[in-house]
Chains A and B, each alone.
Chain A
Amino acid sequence: MELIVALIPLLPFAGFVITLLLGKWVLGKRADVIPVLMATASWVLSMYVFVRVVADPEYVFDWNAFTWISSGALETTWGFYIDPLAAIMLLVVGTIGMVVHYYSIGYMKGDEGYYRFFAYLNLFMFAMFILVMANNYLLMFLAWEGVGLCSYLLIGFWFRKKSASQAGKKAFLVNRVGDFGFMLGMLLMFLTFGSLQFTEVFADVGAAGPAALLGICLLLFTGAVGKSAQFPLHVWLPDAMEGPTPVSALIHAATMVNAGVYMVARSYPLYIDSHTAMYVVMGVGTFTAIYAALIALTQNDIKRVIAYSTVSSLGFMFMALGSGAWVAGIFYLLTHGFFKGLLFLGSGAVIHAMSGQQDMRFMGGLRRKLPITYWTMMVGALAMVGIFPFAGFWAKDEIIGFEFTHHLYYIWVVGLITAFITGIYMFRLMFMTFHGQNRSSPGVQEHIHESRPIMTVPLIILAIPAALAGVLAGWPPESGWIHRFLHPVFFDIESEPFGIVAFILLLVSLVIGAAGITVAWYLYLQRPELPGRLAARFPRAYGASLNKFYMDEIYEAAVIRPVIGFAGWLWTFVDTRVIDGAVNGLAWLWGRFGRLLRPLQTGRAQSYALGILVGVVVLIVVFRIVEG
């Protein structure tokens, strides 16, 4: 098992090194072979681990390979930990990672950075595998920043485009703000527990005071807010769509952005003892869910709509974790990975067919020309909205139902509203893209074609779990397989039998989702002129949503400009004028002092003799007085 666990991240890492070193000059167009092979091998191995854990959910694997940082009482290792939670993450990361590798062969064909792209993808797989398998917070942090780095490199993949390099940098920096919290959380954790190993910290939770525990949880959560794009650090994710679409699918939908959710779930023993922290998680998640959904309503870029829906979905997951529906939250993470990855890859196929066009206002009617893309995306959209029997239905409705049965009625209502909006914007996307008349230029229209099998087969592969994963893992609701599987991780949670209340709640949220779709159908197919009139009728609301509630502008005015201005003042005034001015001023003063004494050095013997005479006289007088 040690070897297998070690190989899962090491294979992609080897792929990264080889491809980066040899890719440009030796491998050329074949640069995809090694990375794809490595991703496939890692998938096989992670499936092996997954099956191993499924066979025995009580199985726990904890292995310290070798020391990393050790100083005084601090002992951290390159160590790995496998339990059902890690196994689920391995399944998601391994599967979607592999599928995206294959898809990229088609999508990135002919790009001049072909080898670089695959090298980065492999590096990402390495870091992501470490992230989900780490057995201590510090190693997790290493991988956490590592996936952030890959995200930075891949968002800015087309680095000559300013918007792309800008977006990559923004992603890294916003995440750094979150990581600042993560880092402080770890410091506080070490000072509280004397360790950063999961098992040691969790065994010792009772020893921490409530304030320290709350501090640790909130600081760690800051990191999660950054990585999982929660309000107010969500601003980087929509811009991250500048990256190639496979990257959006892999990193910004299915895997990396889930890291925050995973980390909070992993820290379950800490959070469960700190109710205040749980409330904060729930509050931030719930707010983000509806906030992002409202923005998604008016966006015109197909990828941005999906990006905001991802932010919203991640909010849902935090809402679930914070309110205590731990299993449902992870269940949603699992299913969401599949259908959101599918939606992104589908949108990639659409963009490919439209010769790079991403604006939905210039799409339409693609249903007939891209049948495979259409139907697979339809599965993804239905899953996203939560329609029976697709994957999202089981997970999402379980979360919403949980809020009701646990008397969190406000959260329940917000959840329902969000589900309703989700129905509208998801099918707005579907209808604007695939239905009606095509609105692009004739030149573009000529080239519309279904993608090659290397891209469509991955869509079909992902459509299967997007359709079925829910019922397989989640039936019967609230006590399905996933509940039993994850029970060793979330040990305090008792699953409840499926009853009549739960059934009614399921129906309610199903109806709400369907209502959303109906509204979209009415607005975008039946009365296509209505949305424009609505926007004209409520210009402020429309503008706020279209401009993302002006968050970027607020940051610009409230953070970036003041900091840059302050820094400039520090440099030009404090550093140059005050500090260096004092240094140079001192030198100048010495110079003046010297000039003052210069007349004394006349060089004439007479004046020196006079000086000596005067001095002697003065000395004699002084000695007289002193002795006298």
Chain B
Amino acid sequence: MYIGAIVTIAGGGHMGEPKFPMSVRTAGPTPARNSQLLFDTPAAFGEVLGETVLNRVVKRLRASGIDQVSVISEGARGKVAAIDQFVLGGNFWSAWDSVVSQYLHHGIELLLLVRLGPYVEINVDEFVRFHRERATPITQAYGNTGPLDIVLVEADSLRGGHTSYRSRFSTLLSQRARFRCRAYVNNLSEPEDFRKLVNDSLRSVCELRPLGQEVSPGVWLGDDAVVDELALIDAPAYIGADARVGASCVISGSSAIEEGCEIDCGSTIENCTVFPGTYIGMGLHVGNALVSGARLFSLTRNIEVAFGDRRLIANTLASRRQITNATTRFLRPVRTLSTARISSRVSKVASMVSNRWLG
């Protein structure tokens, strides 16, 4: 059977408004809301144990034998592998109609519509079988808490007629069959849900697997990750590719240090997700939080704190630049000037550098 999938990602500005036809619901939670933005980016682009949610969903669809996969994003842009096309929709509905039209021209028999949002480990084969047995033009998946944004549509039912595909789809909704999905579902509607997904994955509650090698039970390391021999990693934990964990650091509570992060000496990371390219300064205690760049979201206090000081929390690149500058400034005065002329600021930075680099 020739199946095409359209994965849609709601944009940032108008996520509060129902956009997708599947949002016409009789019960259940409201669709995508602003809270699905994680540090101003849709949660679908958030990295979970080495790979974005979107990438994982697309890979899952490919593994289930879906022939064509297209992604329509309302606003945010992101890297995604193994798709046939990525449409950055200024006008969501015209982009959607155009992708459906292409699929129908290619002779697609079944159309699978997935909205992210929620992370669902749906068994596509089972879903298709159910749909075929019911012989309805449209089937929607339902979880324990209500409808999920996953729908199967018979391509033939969209063919013909003079109205847009969107309106044809909307009229079909009343005939939908309900597929009871017993798979793992994470709504990803709150920051806590993101932590829960990491925790569930590290504890093998769901099928999502960390990208890397399990070097000891419950501890995964990505490619070229460097962990100091004096650091303590309390399983389960994940250290992503190219990440660095300094001496005397403690990583515990199902924490995930994503790709390219740097945890400086003596810091404690407990029950946290540190998103790619984040620098955590020396001797800090980061607990129960999500950290990205210079921003920290405290799950305990439910607030976001922005940091202006690159010595505390920052982008790895910004932090490395500061260290490079500091090294240059530190070395020059020592060679050419007497130490008395080194300004207090430079000496402070220099002491930081010497602490970090010279032990």
Q: Do A and B actually bind?
A: no
Interface residues of B (CB under 8 A from A): none
Interface residues of A (CB under 8 A from B): none
